Amino acid sequence: MIPAEQRVILKYLDEPGYTNDIECYIRHGGYEMLRKAFTMNPEEICHEVELSALRGRGGAGFPAGMKWKFLDRKSGKPIYLICNADESEPGTFKDRQIIHKDPHQLIEGMMIAAYATGTKLAFIYIREEFPQGANILEKAIEEAQASNFVGSNILGSGYSCDIIVHRGAGAYICGEETGLIESLEGKRPYPRIKPPYFPAVLGLYQCPTIVNNVETLCNIKHIIEIGGEDYSHIGVPGATGTRIWCVSGHVLKPGYYEFAGGAITLGELIYEVCGGMRPGRRLKAVIPGGSSAKILRADERYEGHLRDGTAFDWGIDDIPLDFDSFMAVGTMSGSAGVIVMDDTVDMVQALANLNAFYAHESCGQCTPCREGSLWMKKVSTRMCNGKARAEDVDLLASISKQIEGRTICAFGEACSWPTQSFVSKFKEEFAAKASETRSSTDNNGNRLI
Residue ranges in contact with ligand FMN by CB under 6 A? 56-60, 62, 84, 86-89, 173, 175-177, 211-213, 216, 409-411, 414
Burial class, 153, CB count within 10 angstroms (exposed 0-12 / middle 13-18 / buried 19+)? exposed
Beta-sheet pairing, 121-126 with 80-85: parallel
42 near ligand SF4 (CB under 6 A): no
**Radius of gyration of the chain measured on its C-alpha atoms:** 22
Helix boundaries (H) for 157-244: 177-184, 214-226, 228-232
- 389 binds another protein, rule: CB under 8 A: no
Q: How far is the CB of 406 from ligand FMN (least distance, A)?
A: 15
What does 350 bind: ligand FMN, ligand SF4, another protein, none (CB cut-off 5 to 8 Å by kind)?
A: another protein
Q: Contact, 379 vs 387, CB < 8 A?
A: no
In eight-state DSSP terms, residue 269 is I
- Taking CB under 8 A as the rule, does residue 288 contact another protein? no
Minimum CB separation of residue 143 from another protein in Å reads 18
Binding mask 94-123 for another protein (x = CB under 8 A): -xx------------------------x--
Pick between residue 38 and residue 411 the one whose CB is nearest to ligand SF4: 411
SS (HEC) of 11-65:
CCCCCCCCCCCHHHHHHCCCCHHHHHHCCCCHHHHHHHHHHHCCECCCCCCCEHH
Q: In this complex, which beta carbon is closest to ligand FMN, that of residue 42 or of residue 65?
A: 65
**What is the distance between the alpha carbons of residues 17 and 14, in angstroms, rounded to a whole number?**
9
Given another protein, ligand SF4, ligand FMN, none, residue 59, with its beta carbon under 5 to 8 Å by kind, binds ligand FMN
Q: Kindly state whether residue 362 participates in binding another protein, applying the rule CB under 8 A.
A: no
Closest CA to 376 of 390, 367, 48, 393: 393
Residue 72 CB, nearest distance to ligand FMN (Å)?
Answer: 17
- Do residues 278 and 250 make contact, with C-beta atoms less than 8 angstroms apart? yes
- Let me know: does 401 contact 420? Beta carbons within 8 Å: yes
Count the residues of the shown chain that bind another protein, applying the rule CB under 8 A.
58
Residue numbers at the binding site for another protein (CB under 8 A): 78, 87-93, 95-96, 121, 127-132, 162, 164, 166-172, 183-189, 205, 246-250, 254-256, 291, 337, 339, 341, 345, 350, 353-354, 356-357, 360-361, 446-449
